[in-house]
Amino acid sequence: MEYTGLTTLITGASSGIGVEFAEGFAARGSNLVLVARRKDRLTELASRLEKQYSVQVSVIAQDLSVPGAGAALEKAVAKQKLTVDVLVNNAGFGVNGYFVDEDRAVTQAEITLNMGTLVDLTAAFLPGMISRDKGAVVNIASTASFQPVPGMAVYAATKAFVRSFTEALWGELGTSQVRVLAVSPGATESEFFEVAGGKPSGTSMPASAVVDTMFTALDKPRSTPSVVVGGTNGFTAGLVKFFPKKSVIHMAGGMFLPKK
């Protein structure tokens, strides 16, 4: 894909993978719309990227975990007279613990952000891309999407939804030049586990690996519907289908259930 002169909207852009996405698209000449709750971080990032890459960067500080957030963001984008050519639905969070112990309000916010807002933003901006016959929607799933995960039951379920939803959209677009891609990272260097609690099993990959994997997929003439970040993660994700479901669930629980 050619990104120069396009506008890329990135949610969850104030830290971790979101910052790497902003860096990657700006380096390829794309203007940016950065969205997250922390305006100070967004403003600092926008200033640096504008100076470094000579692109235009807009900042929208908004909580996307509340009902109606997608429509509100769509209005904010329209107010600034911006056209979204590439949408990166990166914002999301998880909670590590037993489901029965989770705060119900937090669970609802997790579902809204990881699924509801993602779908609504896709519905808001994908039609324009199709009418222009160019652009891309990138949705961040997870290796947790490939099996149920006791200890992160809601998070894994939301990411399974994201991957399935995105792959289905890919199938609907047929010969359109618009790319749709689900990206499934494993444990990544970010603030994820600071929010979720617990700690990642094994070594975390750099956030740049997620971005590199995405661009490699998008640069192909007909992008794949879904990619997994890292060869080991891809092998493991494919391997689970060959084991009995109960064994897979027990293994995942052994990694993520808090020790009593």
Residue 68: CB atoms within 10 A of its CB come to: 11
**How is residue 91 annotated by DSSP?**
-
N-term to C-term CA, the chain: 50
Alpha carbon separation from 74 to 70, 88, 247 (Å, rounded): 6, 14, 44
Q: How many CB atoms lie within 10 A of CB 101?
A: 8
SS3 content of the chain, % helix, strand, coil (to 5): 50, 15, 35
The closest alpha carbon to 153, from 101, 192, 205, 230, belongs to 101
What ranges make up the beta strands (E) of 6-80? Answer: 7-11, 31-36, 57-61
Catalytic, 3? Answer no
- What gap in Å lies between CA 221 and CA 202, rounded to an integer? 34
3-state secondary structure 218-241: HCCCCCCCEEECCHHHHHHHHHHH
Which residues belong to the active site?
A: 155
